């Protein structure tokens, strides 16, 4: 089971990947939205913002998200680490229910190019 630090490191790596991405992907991520990522097996939630093509984590709290972020993810820590490492494909994980993604319709369209 991934630790909370490994999950934090994976989010930091994902943020760096977005910042180094090619222009079309970086452009798709260059919007300003609140973000939460609930790590279900650890029952911890990272909250922050997706802003200017980077993920900024502001807090880690116990339990599910206290407030509804504009972009909401939920998955196990192992799945987060595997997604960022490229060992798990997002579309397959989402289709099988291993990863939950909730967002407004426009945000989903923009995020589609990132996934």
Specify the CATH number for the domain of residue 32: 3.30.1050.10
Domain that holds residue 99: 4-103
Residue 110, domain member (yes or no): no
Q: What's the pLDDT tens digit per position in 8-49?
A: 999 999 888 877 766 655 555 567 999 999 999 999 999 999
Residue 113, domain member (yes or no): no
What pLDDT was estimated at residue 19?
74
* 102, 75, 83, 48: CA torsion to nearest 10: 60
What pLDDT was estimated at residue 78?
98
- Measured from the Cβ of residue 89, the count of other Cβ atoms closer than 10 Å reads 12
Residue 22, domain member (yes or no): yes
Q: What span, in angstroms and rounded, lies between the C-alpha atoms of 10 and 14?
A: 6
Q: Is the pLDDT of residue 74 over 90?
A: yes
Q: What span, in angstroms and rounded, lies between the C-alpha atoms of 77 and 37?
A: 10
Residue 11, domain member (yes or no): yes
| Residue 71 token pair | 């972009």
How many domains does the chain contain in total?
A: 1
Interstrand relation of 33-39 and 71-75 (parallel, antiparallel or unpaired): parallel
Task: Give Cα 47 distance to the centre of its chain.
Answer: 10
**Residues 39-55, buried b or exposed e (16+ Cβ, 10 A)?**
bbebebbbbbbbeebbb
What pLDDT was estimated at residue 72?
96
Residue 112, domain member (yes or no): no
Residue 108, domain member (yes or no): no
The pLDDT of 73-101, averaged and rounded, is 95
């Amino acid at each position: 089971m991934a630790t909370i630090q490994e999950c934090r490191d994976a989010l930091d790596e994902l943020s760096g990947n977005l910042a180094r991405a090619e222009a079309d992907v970086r452009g798709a991520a260059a919007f300003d939205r609140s973000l939460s990522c609930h790590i279900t097996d650890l029952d911890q939630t990272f909250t922050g913002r997706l802003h200017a093509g980077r993920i900024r984590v502001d807090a880690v709290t116990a339990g599910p998200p206290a407030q509804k972020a504009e972009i909401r993810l939920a998955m196990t820590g192992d799945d987060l680490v595997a997604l960022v490492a490229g060992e798990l494909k997002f579309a397959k994980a989402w289709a099988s229910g291993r990863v939950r993604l909730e967002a407004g319709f426009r945000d989903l369209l923009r995020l589609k190019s990132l996934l």
